[in-house]
Amino acid sequence: MDASLQPMTPAGAEWAIEPRREGLLARLRDVWRYRRLLRFFGWKALQKLYARTVLGWSWLFIRPLFPLLVNTIIFSGVLGVGSGGVPYFLFLVTGVSIWELFATAVTWGTRSLELNRGFMTRIYIPRLILPIAMMTPSYLTFVINLAVLACAIVYYRLTTGVVYLVPAKLGWAVVAMALAWLLALGISLWTSVPALVARDVRFTLGYVLGFWVFLTPVLYPLNVPDKYAWLMPLNPMAAIVNAFKYGVLGIDVLNLRDLGIAALLATAVFVSGLWFFGRAEADAADKV
């Protein structure tokens, strides 16, 4: 072999091939070591977002604005749904922002292994990177919804003189964002492996999210009779959405008990999902 084609290695260097370390912390350390791949797969997800469409990136603005306008007309103009003392459009876009962060992250995280099966069969990468990186479109959607929210706040400030923003409470909005992301990632760790071999998971997930949003105070305030109030903590997104609205607009009551339960549920789903993903992803990749 030509000496110029031989790999350059330091004199006396040795290569050791060792089995992959087991355990949750080892999985997280692998993600940190290969963190540069997060940007690569994140950009890959954004490229797939509106590939093979005529309008292209224009859908980034059409998709959030059209449903917001339609829902505002139906729920506020026709049905007269209350909005906690703020204009309904503000109420709606605030709830939709945090819900879309969650739902879009779950959708893309679930498809993460399926969309990158080619990489899984050719090279080694810590597969935990894929669900995290492929949730990138949800961040972009969230930023666009926040931009719409900011424009709406400015509009109502100029037209009514009222500032519908509570800076002192924004910390609770950040907490809600973190919990929504953690819960979405945990669910994706459970669903991405089965979705690699069965499309039924993706189809079922669409129906589940479509039903779940109506159990969450996104489109309307969720007024639950007292005898059913004990069921509310079972839906962690209800407390998370309420906390986000409280942090941004100062509306709704911040229920620390329900938010604490939501945090525990999100953490439990994430930790158990991390355990399941670590045990199942290698076997699933062999079946691709």
CB-based burial label for 13 (10 Å; 0-12, 13-18, 19+): exposed
Q: What is the pLDDT of residue 101?
A: 94
- Mean pLDDT, residues 70-85: 71
As a whole number of angstroms, the distance between CA 280 and CA 193 comes to 7
CA contacts within 13 A on the Cβ side of 256 = 0
- What is the sign of the dihedral through the CA atoms of 229, 233, 235 and 240? positive
Q: What is the pLDDT of residue 247?
A: 92
As a whole number of angstroms, the distance between CA 165 and CA 245 comes to 10
Q: What is the pLDDT of residue 209?
A: 93
pLDDT at position 286 over 70: no
When mean pLDDT is compared across 81-85, 197-201, 251-255, 263-267, the lowest value belongs to 81-85
Provide, rounded to the nearest whole percent, the portion of the chain with pLDDT above 70: 78
Listed residue (140, 130, 91, 57) closest to 242, CA to CA? 91
Higher pLDDT, 100 or 45: 100
Range ranked top by mean pLDDT from 57-71, 118-132, 204-218, 224-238: 204-218
As a whole number of angstroms, the distance between CA 149 and CA 45 comes to 25
Q: What is the pLDDT of residue 7?
A: 46
Q: Supply 219's token pair.
A: 């489109």
When mean pLDDT is compared across 7-11, 32-36, 157-161, the lowest value belongs to 7-11
Instruction: Identify residue 235 by its one-letter amino acid code.
Output: N
Q: Kindly list the distances between the CA atom of residue 99 and the CA atoms of 5, 30, 138, 152, 285, in Å, as whole numbers in the listed order.
A: 54, 30, 10, 18, 31
As a whole number of angstroms, the distance between CA 92 and CA 149 comes to 9
As a whole number of angstroms, the distance between CA 232 and CA 255 comes to 11
As a whole number of angstroms, the distance between CA 38 and CA 126 comes to 11
The distance between the two most distant Cα atoms of the chain, rounded to a whole number of Å, is 81
pLDDT at position 21 over 70: no
pLDDT at position 116 over 70: yes
As a whole number of angstroms, the distance between CA 98 and CA 246 comes to 12
Provide, rounded to the nearest whole percent, the portion of the chain with pLDDT above 90: 32
Rama region for 248: left / alpha / beta (φ>0; ψ in -120 to 50; rest) = alpha
pLDDT at position 229 over 80: no
Alpha helices in the chain (DSSP H): 24-33, 36-49, 59-71, 88-110, 112-115, 117-122, 129-133, 136-160, 170-197, 200-212, 236-249, 256-286
Tokens 């525990």 belong to which residue? 264
Residue 116 is classified by DSSP as T
Query: Is 163 in contact with 155 (CB distance < 8 Å)?
Result: no
Tens of pLDDT, residues 142-192: 999 999 999 999 998 998 888 888 888 999 999 999 999 999 999 999 999
